[in-house]
Amino acid sequence: MTVPQAIVIGCSAGGLTALESLFAHLDPGLPQSIAVCCHTGSATVDLLCELLAKHAALPVEEARERSPMQGGVIHVAPSGYHLLVETNRRFALSVDQRVSFARPSIDVLFESAAEAWRDALIGVVLTGANSDGANGLLRVRQCGGIAIVQEPLDAESPAMPAAALERAGADYCLPLADIAPLLNRLCLP
Amino acid sequence: MNELADNAKTPDTSLDDIEIELFIRALKLRYGYDFTQYAPASLKRRVLQLAHAQEAATVSELTTRLLHQPDFLPVALEGLSVPVSEMFRDPDVFLALREQVLPVLASYPQINIWQAGCAHGQEVYSLAILLEEAGLYDRTQIYATDFNESALRHAQEGIYPAREAQLWSRNYLAAGGKHTLADYYSARYELIKLDQRLRRNVIFANHNLVTDEVFCEAHLVLCRNVLIYFSDPLQDRTLALFRDSLVRGGFLCLGTRESLDFAPSASDFTPVDAARRIYRLGPRGTGKE
């Protein structure tokens, strides 16, 4: 089995609280690159990074176009842009039309990351109020990556995890509290 | 650990990639439009989106149309072009232009501004309003360029969906607007049409950043969220083109999330307001008379 090298995480409504609790329990020694797409409505990416950094065991930064995805860093998609991963594993941005009514769109991040990292990727879909991320998670699985979905009944907004399960299925479907321990297990040698 | 239904199967991704490469190659060979230096991930999405919108079963079908149906070219270019913006997008940038750049431009007897990649023209009209309110428009020439003819026609018309007006009005006020945006357009049915007087000093021209050269001497170049679609070498070539177009001490304004970290040509520019991606040509202190 391939050791995962990158993790992509998507969420919307209720996502900030979910991410805070997830990041608080990640092992600070994780070597993987992490990229997050969270529809925040009006919150700027600066604020989002600031709030997440308070709780995270790992450094949190805004994802910058053309910069490599760094191991052991949580990169956050900027507001108003799609975040993509090129096959050279550097970030790219676009202001193309919204996908699933969202920009940044989880589908866009997941689909491009799946092609860049192939089977070395883990995709995580958490609480959220629409179906963004479902197509992306399917792509992650098609490229051989691992899919983790928050148990819809455990999510503040079940629509997003439910849509992901329906469209893509999952390798693991768990309550939020169990996701960080699972990531630590999958990601540490 | 739950074992869940698995409806995933392995697609032949490389096939998509081959077909997209052939399509881009055909566009270049047949018509000279060169997208080979575009950032691949978003270009791929756009080509697949175009295939989907055109109800083409495969990208190869698009390639066939491109080669054999001349009227398909504008459709293809529209699908691959700079996406549509909004008026006064990132109002704080327009506020910074108003407060930090226009006072300097005011010292020139004649002001030339180049907006590269103008798409449907929302930013051209925003600029014109900014200049009008600063009392500078009558001695300004704006060159609004794009490689896409149909976008240029759109920009020239200045007609937009009325549903946009609310957001644009908010942006305009946040950008330090002195009136209301409604003073600059007339609304009819579901559309707004911008005051045609705003166009009086705009020249809309076809210019392709990938292949064309310097065509004017500019005091300000505005090119927001175009370079994000370019690979590193093309980004660098374009920045050199901007450098060669600008007067000494001229200004460059890019998109607020665009990064110059991988562009050697960026060393020619000095940040004026780094967060808003406003730069000035020349080392620190240039332009201080």
- Quickly state the pLDDT bin for B12 (edges 50, 70, 90): low
Half-sphere exposure of B133 (CA within 13 A, CB side): 21
Q: Using 50, 70 and 90 to split pLDDT, how confident is the model at B285? A: very low
Interface check for B14 against chain A (CB to CB < 8 A): the answer is no
Does the annotation mark A82 as catalytic?
no
Please tell me the predicted confidence (pLDDT) of residue B11: 52
Residue A147: half-sphere exposure toward Cβ, Cα within 13 Å: 35
DSSP state of B112: E
Closest to B225 in 3D by CA, of B84, B112, B44 = B84
What's the number of CA atoms in the CB half-sphere (13 Å) around residue A44?
6
Single out the residue of B150, B43, B173, B41 nearest to residue B98, CA to CA.
B173
pLDDT-derived band of residue B261, with 50, 70 and 90 as boundaries?
Answer: confident
Does A142 sit within 8 Å of B8, measured CB to CB? yes
pLDDT tens-place values along chain A, 189 residues long: 789 999 999 999 889 999 999 999 999 999 999 999 998 766 688 889 999 999 899 999 999 999 999 999 999 999 999 999 999 999 999 999 999 889 999 999 999 999 999 999 999 999 999 999 999 999 999 999 999 999 999 999 999 999 999 999 999 999 999 999 999 999 998
Identity of residue A11: C
**pLDDT over 80 (residue B31):** yes
CA dist B238 and B209 (Å) reads: 6
- Give CA–CA dist A42/A48, Å, rounded: 10
Q: In CATH, which superfamily holds the domain spanning A6-187?
A: Methylesterase CheB, C-terminal domain (3.40.50.180)
Q: Say whether pLDDT at B276 is over 80.
A: yes
- The string of pLDDT tens digits covering residues B156-178 is 999 999 999 999 999 999 999 99
Contact A19, A34 (CB under 8 A): no
Confidence of residue B208 (pLDDT cuts 50, 70, 90): very high
pLDDT at A14 (0 to 100): 86
The answer to whether B206 and B124 are in contact (CB under 8 A) is no
Model confidence band, residue B2 (pLDDT cutoffs 50, 70, 90): very low
The rounded distance, in Å, linking the Cα atoms of B219 and B106 is 11
Is residue A132 annotated as part of the catalytic site, yes or no?
yes
- Name every chain A residue with its beta carbon within 8 A of the beta carbon of B262: 66
Distance CA B75, CA B34 (A): 16
φ, ψ for residue B100, nearest 5 deg: -105, -30
- CA–CA separation, B27 and B35 (whole Å): 8
Test A65 with B228 for CB contact under 8 angstroms: yes
CB of A98 within 8 Å of any CB in chain B? no
Partners of A35 in the β-ladder: A8, A75
Residue B213 has pLDDT above 90, yes or no: yes
How far B288 CA lies from chain A's nearest CA (Å)?
32
> Which two structure tokens, joined as six digits, stand for B103?
């006072």
Query: Looking at chain B from residue 214 to 273, which residues have their Cβ under 8 Å from any Cβ of chain A?
Result: 225, 228-229, 232, 255, 257-259, 261-262
Mean pLDDT of B190-208: 97
* pLDDT in the model for residue B286: 46
| Pairing, β B246-254 against β A146-150 | unpaired
Q: Which residue has the tokens 């003819």?
A: B149
Chain-chain contact of B259 with A66 (C-beta, under 8 angstroms) = yes
Domains of chain A, residue spans: 6-187
Phi-psi sector, B72: left (phi>0), alpha (psi -120 to 50), beta:
alpha
Residue A12 a catalytic site member: yes
The pLDDT tens digits of the residues spanning B93-146 come to 999 999 999 999 999 999 999 999 999 999 999 999 999 999 999 999 999 999
Asked whether the beta carbons of A86 and B40 are under 8 A apart, the reply is yes
Q: In the predicted model, what is the mean pLDDT of chain B?
A: 92
Supply the pLDDT for residue A42: 64
Residues B68-73, mean pLDDT to the nearest whole number: 96
Write phi, then psi, for B255 (nearest 5 degrees).
-70, 150
pLDDT of residue B288: 37
Neighbours of B68 (CB within 10 A): 9
Check A75, A79, A132, A157 and give the catalytic one: A132
Q: Cβ-count burial of A119 within 10 angstroms (0-12 exposed, 13-18 middle, 19+ buried)? A: middle
Tokens of residue A75, six digits: 């990169």
Q: Which of B180, B81, B168, B79 is nearest to B123 (CA)?
A: B168
Nearest Cα residue to B74 out of B159, B149, B153: B149
- What radius of gyration do chain A's Cα atoms show? 14
Q: What fold characterizes domain B91-281?
A: Rossmann fold (3.40.50)
Side-by-side strand order, sheet with B159-161: B159-161, B191-194, B185-188
pLDDT for residue A107? 98
| Residue pair A110/A122 in contact by the 8 Å Cβ criterion | no
Residue with tokens 């883990």: A122
Sorted by where each begins, the domain ranges of chain B are 10-80, 91-281
The pTM score is 0.94
Of the candidates B138, B132, B194, which has an alpha carbon nearest to the alpha carbon of residue B168?
Answer: B194
